[in-house]
């Protein structure tokens, strides 16, 4: 079934200018959706809008907003109140790396606001609208490989993704009988701007290209997907270990990504 036939013509993508979010914007345009793209960087948004237009995409609108602030999400709701989004891809998020006491508290709290609170706020809003209008809804949220156990040196980020994973699993089962499909995407390392913002050297990372297509095929069929070979390989390698051992192993991997060789942690 065409996704536009199932969910309608309009899709919203946050975090749309880089990595997996951008791949979703490109893939949804190919599949015939009219898009509303949200990210912080207005220049990159307009560049993506131009790229989509050259592809022959249908109507694409862009909005520069920092969704870590609740008032900005309410602004998004108000601006788009007359648009019936049938597909929501909430890819906005970021991470950090290093000893917790050395990291900016403001940045850590901002991360929790974006990675967790905004997910609840947006999910609540669009699920409520879907039920009120008796329309189908596809809701794609983003967990992570690190969200299945505590991970030293990126404790806040890993915890935020554990929240998203648990939240997505819960609402998947709450609403699957009401025409609402919820999917948690739990990737491993992906080549994007994530590593530089988080202060991590990601020597092993998969391309974001093609991830959206894989996830869209899984929407409505499962509750969690680890897209791509690297995500599957790392995920299934770790899942066979006890939770404590997963944390220990990821502690070493994260240490090597954050601290230069010979540096004390």
Name the residues annotated as catalytic: 157
In sequence order, what are the residues at sequence separation of 6 or more whose Cβ sits closer than 8 angstroms to the Cβ of residue 17? 37, 39, 41, 44, 45, 47, 48
Q: How far apart are CA 117 and CA 121, in angstroms?
A: 6
Tokens encoding 49: 């809008």
Can you count the helices (H) and strands (E) in the chain? Answer: 11, 7
Cβ neighbours, 10 Å, residue 147: 22
> In the 8-state DSSP scheme, what is residue 5?
H
φ, ψ for residue 260, nearest 5 deg: -60, 155
């Amino acid at each position: 079934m065409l996704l536009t036939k199932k969910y309608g013509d309009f899709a919203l993508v946050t975090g749309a200018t880089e990595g997996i979010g951008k791949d979703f914007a490109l893939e949804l345009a190919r599949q015939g959706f009219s898009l509303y793209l949200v990210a912080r960087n207005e220049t990159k948004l307009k560049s993506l809008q131009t790229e989509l237009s050259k592809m022959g995409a249908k109507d694409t609108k862009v909005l520069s907003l920092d969704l870590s602030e609740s008032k900005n999400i309410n602004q998004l709701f108000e601006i788009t109140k007359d648009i019936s989004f049938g597909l929501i891809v909430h890819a906005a998020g970021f991470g950090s790396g290093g000893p917790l006491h050395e990291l900016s508290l403001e940045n850590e709290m901002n991360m929790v606001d974006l990675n967790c609170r905004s997910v609840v706020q947006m999910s609540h809003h669009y699920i409520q609208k879907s039920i009120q209008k008796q329309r189908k809804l596809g809701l794609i949220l983003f967990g992570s490989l690190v969200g299945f156990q505590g991970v030293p040196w990126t404790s806040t980020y890993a915890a935020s993704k554990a929240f998203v994973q648990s939240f997505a699993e819960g609402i998947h089962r709450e609403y699957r009988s009401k025409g609402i499909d919820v999917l948690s995407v739990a990737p491993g390392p992906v080549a994007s701007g994530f590593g530089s913002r988080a202060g991590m050297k990601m020597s092993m990372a998969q391309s974001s290209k093609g991830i959206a297509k894989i996830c869209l095929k899984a929407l409505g069929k499962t509750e969690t997907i680890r897209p791509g070979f690297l995500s599957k390989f790392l995920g299934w390698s770790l899942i066979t270990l006890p939770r404590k051992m997963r944390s220990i192993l990821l502690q070493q991997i994260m240490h090597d990504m954050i601290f230069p060789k010979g540096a004390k942690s």
